[in-house]
Chain A
């Protein structure tokens, strides 16, 4: 079985990646994810695996592109401004159907912003931050242990669908320490072989990795293949959690650290007789539209709470439409909403 340890979120993501068989890790330092990079610097070489501190985020994401081409499990991590730099590479990974894991420990923005927790990169992550018609799977952990399990899952999903997968964490998750049951390492040799990988054209025709064709009809077919895969992901991989929604009149829609705070708010609200529940998307893309739609049919209000000006809120409103009220409460700039502050908002809609 695994082992129980007390670790920071950043370290748990790193350790989970190692146990998921990540062979090559490339990154550039940035707060608040530096511990992830440092954990990899110590442990990857010890295991005979690759750690490179890249010259830039562009360097790092393109090293990931190279390692992914060869078929090994590979990851990079950064925080908001660094993730902006990686967008070119993420678009190429998506266009070339290369599996890779990208971790964004989100901080306050825009611009240089600050180093405090934020959820202001939701649009960039879920709507395609780079150029072109693409998506990547986006997983939003809410606790340190879940950051570990979702990181393990991210590698499996990346390989299964040949797509980049993002772990969308935040500065709180990255820095917080929690007890974690670390899973046993997977057996890398047991992973399915990647027949498409560019491992050398020995005894077969050459494999070519590319996102390019000058013939619009051919490029259209390449795009349609991506879209086909996205529909398959939407069908198979939607993940979410509902907490005390059975009798709820009001539901908070929140993900990540904010969802965790909302769980405290549920206890406080219910002590005051307010029937409050939580809808927590775990896959931010694909977003759980259908289950939220269903839930919205039997509640009066879906209150979206985010550490942003209202980004996931757009997806919530798409899902809920006119079936319930859809107010919003958000904090920005690295300010973390308090349980009391959220409860005050909830009370506005409790009748």
Chain B
């Protein structure tokens, strides 16, 4: 007896460029969403065979496990310099430098700024969750004023620790970058926008246009001590007020 079971079509599955490896991210963490978006983009652009993933130091240190792509694990903060070396050695490779806020905007400040300023033809995804997740929730360069972390137990005090750094705005001051944007993942619309931005950042590289940076505001329910939904709400209500969403540069 025929039923509609026979006519079922699979409309959603894991991107081909993602492996079956078990995630090391905490429940509610948005790195996972981002990983899926990247996998999907690699599939759509059909570039898995020539993509190199740079795994940084931090929560995403295991990024070399997630993709069916070659990968290079690198020193803390140096991802953009390594990306430079890879891309200059073989311009046909598509290089993703995936970096957290401590990696990209603190210890790697010089490498990040200068790779952007040289207009290296690479794609950088900069995950801003305002905290050092891997080491136990210490202050990040992006930590908000008043935000409690394990190294700012009374909240970040600007007089003592300075202000949350708007790194993408700094990069946007440079002449070379072709695309600098800030995205978020707190709801479906934002996830779709971020997906578009990431595809554009990869497409720019494939077309040889130059340096693209996608900053992504992500949640860290574990170290923010919030439930995942509350954490997303915090991004909407608080984080985006300090880090406004949208394109900062688009010369593509």
Contacts and interface: CB of A to CB of B under 8 A. Distances in A.
Interface stretch (B68-76, B165-173, B212-220): B68-76
B52, B70, B86: which has the most chain A beta carbons within 10 Å?
B70
Interface residues on A, range: 35 or more
A134 interface: no
A198 B88 contact: no
B111 interface: yes
A209 B82 CA distance: 12
Nearest to B88: A50
B108 to A, nearest CB: 9
B5 interface: no
Interface string A45-76: 00000101011101110111111111110100
A198 B71 CA distance: 7
A62 B54 CA distance: 12
Interface in B51-89: 51-52, 55, 61, 64, 67-75, 78, 81-89
B185 to A, nearest CB: 26
Interface stretch (A29-37, A107-115, A199-207, A262-270): A199-207
Contacts of B81: 54-55, 58-60, 62-63, 65-66
Contacts of A64: 85
A58 B85 CA distance: 12
A96 B50 CA distance: 21
B82 A63 contact: yes
Given A59-B110, A199-B90, A208-B64, A74 B70 contact: no
B93 interface: yes
B82 A62 contact: yes
A72 B86 CA distance: 10
B69 A89 contact: no
Contacts of B87: 66
Interface residues of B, number: 35
A24 B70 CA distance: 20
Given A56-B110, A62-B82, A67 B70 contact: no
Nearest to B76: A88
Given A55-B114, A58-B111, A200-B93, A66 B70 contact: no
B89 A66 contact: yes
Contacts of A88: 75
Contacts of B92: 200
B43 interface: no
B89 A200 contact: no
Contacts of A199: 70, 90, 93
B88 A67 contact: yes
A338 interface: no
A212 B69 CA distance: 18
B72 A198 contact: yes
B48 interface: yes
A65 to B, nearest CB: 5
Contact of A206 (B68, B90, B113, B118): B68
Contacts of B55: 210
B89 A59 contact: no
A67 to B, nearest CB: 4
A212 B62 CA distance: 9
B114 A66 contact: no
A208 B73 contact: yes
Contacts of A211: 73
Contacts of A62: 74-75, 78, 81-82, 85, 111
Contacts of B69: 200-201, 206
A23 interface: yes
Contacts of B73: 96, 208-212
Nearest to B92: A200
A72 B51 contact: no
A54, A88, A200, A211: which has the most chain B beta carbons within 10 Å?
A200
B82 A69 contact: yes
Given A66-B86, A199-B70, A55 B49 contact: no
Interface of A: 23-24, 26, 50, 52, 54-56, 58-60, 62-72, 74, 88-89, 92, 96, 198-203, 206-212
The 5 closest A-B pairs by CB, nearest first: A66-B85, A63-B85, A62-B81, A210-B73, A55-B114
16 contacts: A23-B89, A55-B81, A58-B81, A59-B84, A62-B74, A62-B78, A62-B85, A69-B72, A71-B89, A74-B85, A199-B70, A200-B69, A209-B72, A210-B55, A210-B71, A210-B73
